[in-house]
Amino acid sequence: MSKLEAAFKNNKFAITSEIGPPKGVSFEQILKENISLRERVDAINVTDLQSSVMRLGSLAFSKILLDNGIEPVFQLTCRDRNRLALQSDLLSAAVLGIENVLLLTGDHPVLGDHPEAKPVYDLDSVQLLDCAKGLINGVDLCGNKLTGSPKLFLGAVVNPGVETIDLELLKMEKKVKAGAQFFQTQAVYDLSSFERFMKKAITFGVPIMAGIVLLKSANMARYLNDNVAGINVPDGLIKRMQDSKDKVKTSIGIASSLIKELKGNCQGVHIMPIGWDKHVVAVLDQAGL
Amino acid sequence: MIVTKQKSFQDIMEALKNKTNIFIIGCGECATTCKTGGEDEVKLLCAELSKNNKNITGFVIPKAPCVVSQTKRDLSKFRAELERSDCILVMACGLGVQAVIQSKRFNSKVVSGCDTLFAGSMTSLGEFFEFCSSCGECLLNITGGLCPVTRCPKSLLNGPCGGAKDGKCEVDRTKDCVWILIYERLKELGELDNIKSIVKAKNHRKNLRPGVRSLKKEN
């Protein structure tokens, strides 16, 4: 059983961070910044060509983490692989010793740095979860038997702040039915809407990790509000970033207080430092985790 | 209908390079509606080409050039003109162009004057929208008559990606998120249960590209 799965099983407040692999093959710096998290988090997500930007693959970087004593959450999206490749990559992850996987639809290629790429989306995230559950049970999507079935811990994502929350919850319930064993959420800043979301989401009986994105500036906060669905950074926090002489300190302060307030209302937090990997330890320190 | 866009005049001239005597075939259906190969457009093109030293041997606008029998019948009235032509310019969709070639009423080269965009429906404002991608496995009966295969850029079958903002698609903010429209429509119809169970992965054997799909008469 993975450390992450064990944390949920033992009702321990779970902590994950997130790495975006480099655009190139020099990974040592990112790895160095994350080594200090080894004893502090249950696992670290490795994003799969996040924002549809071509970069080092999530499977390879997940293995690098594993070799360095850090448990990975291998992110796998439907954007670039058809059902053969998706299933094969899940088997590959399992033989490399990677158990935690986070299965997503994936950002559309037009939003990334290869906008002329052909989008795949042979499966959607619900179908991929369903298919991964099948692999765990020893059969592929077409019902063919596997020789040895993978041990996987299936994660999914949910966006608790979207306008059409009933529809989001409907899809979340389908993900649970399909086999999701834990959820990580989009960034949360608005505690009251998160609380409303959790009232219903908790009834699905699957652990939920609240997403924490480190704010780097007031402009970034405004950008998130204007462009990313379901994110609502309150004016008070934007003003704190705006007025701050020490953005890093303020950002750490905001993230750690969010975690403290969210702690009683979810089963863990998923921190997305977006390049500020070296500050995650300070966030955890201040949050008392 | 099949939505088309005229190629630029420069591209058409390039395709007609080294050809002098041109016969033009338009389309009385889709290309007329799209204003790319109707009588008005064909006459305008005749005038433009004449100004550029092309000799127009004649033109015809079959009702639907994609129906081979109709094209054969219409072209049979222009035998002499076709014989005098060293190139046939078709102002219709790719189906029209290929049906004209199949009609075997001439031996000259056939050139396409349009780019074929998609199968679309036309709004009352005269705008065209692609609402069906001919996937061979229609889901409209469970999605309230709105197609997620075509209208969601990721063709998601089990609900939205969660990226819509103010009801607009993350990939194209000028378009509505079809999953939100589906949800609202099903709520209205009292049929939300339709989308609560998992829709299985599509069978892409019904929609293989490249490939030739056909529908033949059963014996």
Interface test with B, best of A127, A158, A204, A226 (most B CBs within 10 A): A127
Q: What is the DSSP string of B130-199?
A: ------SS--TTTTTT--HHHHSTT--SSS--S--BTTB-SS-TTSB-HHHHHHHHHHHHT-GGGGTSPP
Verify whether the Cβ–Cβ distance B161 to A105 is below 8 Å: yes
Verify whether the Cβ–Cβ distance A174 to B167 is below 8 Å: no
B204 interfaces chain A, CB cutoff of 8 Å: yes
Verify whether the Cβ–Cβ distance A105 to B171 is below 8 Å: no
A111 interfaces chain B, CB cutoff of 8 Å: yes
Q: Is the Cβ–Cβ distance between A66 and A96 less than 8 Å?
A: yes
A87 interfaces chain B, CB cutoff of 8 Å: no
**Per-residue pLDDT at B105:** 81
Interface test with B, best of A126, A165, A168, A226 (most B CBs within 10 A): A126
Q: Is the Cβ–Cβ distance between A57 and A25 less than 8 Å?
A: no
Verify whether the Cβ–Cβ distance B201 to A119 is below 8 Å: no
Q: Report in angstroms the alpha-carbon separations of A106 from A149, A167, B160.
A: 26, 19, 12
Domains with residue ranges and CATH for chain A: 3-287 (3.20.20.220)
CATH architecture of B2-119: 3-Layer(aba) Sandwich (3.40)
What mean pLDDT is reported for chain A?
97
Radius of gyration of chain B (CA): 22
Which whole number is the average pLDDT over B167-189? 96
CA A70, A76, A80, A85 dihedral sign is positive
What mean pLDDT is reported for chain B?
93
pTM: 0.90
Interface test with A, best of B165, B184, B208 (most A CBs within 10 A): B165
Which whole number is the average pLDDT over B85-101? 96
Taking 70 as the threshold, does the pLDDT of residue A202 lie above it? yes
pLDDT digits (tens, 9 = 90+) for B110-124: 999 999 999 999 988
d(CA A136, CA A139): 8
Residue B156 has its nearest CB partner, among A105, A166, A178, at A105
Verify whether the Cβ–Cβ distance B170 to A173 is below 8 Å: no
Chain B residues touching A130 at Cβ < 8 A: 198
Verify whether the Cβ–Cβ distance B159 to A126 is below 8 Å: yes
**Per-residue pLDDT at A61:** 98
pLDDT band at B219 (very low <50, low <70, confident <90, very high): low
Q: Is the Cβ–Cβ distance between A207 and A43 less than 8 Å?
A: no
pLDDT band at A2 (very low <50, low <70, confident <90, very high): very high
Chain B residues touching A177 at Cβ < 8 A: 198
pLDDT digits (tens, 9 = 90+) for B38-60: 999 999 999 999 999 999 999 99
Chain A residues touching B167 at Cβ < 8 A: 163
> What count of CB pairs under 8 Å joins A to B?
93
3-state secondary structure of A94: helix
Residues 12-41 of A with CB under 8 A from B: none
Report which of residues B189 and B123 the model is more confident about.
B189
The Cβ of residue A143 has, within 10 Å, a number of other Cβ atoms equal to 7
Cα B81 from chain centre:
28
Q: Is the Cβ–Cβ distance between A248 and A279 less than 8 Å?
A: yes
Q: Which residue do the tokens 């009933």 mark?
A: A166
Q: Which residue do the tokens 């649970």 mark?
A: A176
Residue B170 has its nearest CB partner, among A124, A174, A229, at A229
Chain B residues touching A227 at Cβ < 8 A: 165
**Which residue is closest to A179 within chain B, CA to CA?**
B198
Low-confidence winner among A33-42, A255-264, B127-136 (lowest mean pLDDT): B127-136
Q: Is the Cβ–Cβ distance between A13 and A263 less than 8 Å?
A: yes
Q: Is the Cβ–Cβ distance between A34 and A19 less than 8 Å?
A: yes
pLDDT digits (tens, 9 = 90+) for A65-112: 999 999 999 999 999 999 999 999 999 999 999 999 999 999 999 999
Q: Where in chain B is the domain with CATH 3.40.50.2300?
A: 2-119
Chain A residues touching B150 at Cβ < 8 A: none
Q: Report in angstroms the alpha-carbon separations of B97 from A141, B8, B36.
A: 41, 17, 14
Chain B residues touching A171 at Cβ < 8 A: 158-160, 162
Verify whether the Cβ–Cβ distance B158 to A163 is below 8 Å: no
Residue A164 has its nearest CB partner, among B157, B183, B204, at B183
Which whole number is the average pLDDT over A48-57? 97
Q: What percent of chain B has pLDDT over 90?
A: 85
The Cβ of residue B76 has, within 10 Å, a number of other Cβ atoms equal to 11
Ramachandran angles phi, psi of B69, nearest 5°: -60, -40
Verify whether the Cβ–Cβ distance B204 to A122 is below 8 Å: yes
Verify whether the Cβ–Cβ distance A229 to B171 is below 8 Å: no
pLDDT band at B210 (very low <50, low <70, confident <90, very high): low
B193 interfaces chain A, CB cutoff of 8 Å: no
Interface test with A, best of B137, B151, B154 (most A CBs within 10 A): B154
**Per-residue pLDDT at B104:** 82
Taking 80 as the threshold, does the pLDDT of residue B209 lie above it? no
Chain B residues touching A126 at Cβ < 8 A: 157-159, 198-199
**Per-residue pLDDT at B205:** 86
Chain B residues touching A228 at Cβ < 8 A: 165
pLDDT digits (tens, 9 = 90+) for B148-162: 999 999 999 999 999
**Helices and strands of chain A, counted as H and E runs:** 11, 8
Q: Report in angstroms the alpha-carbon separations of A164 from A100, A201, B68, B153, B183.
A: 29, 14, 49, 19, 9
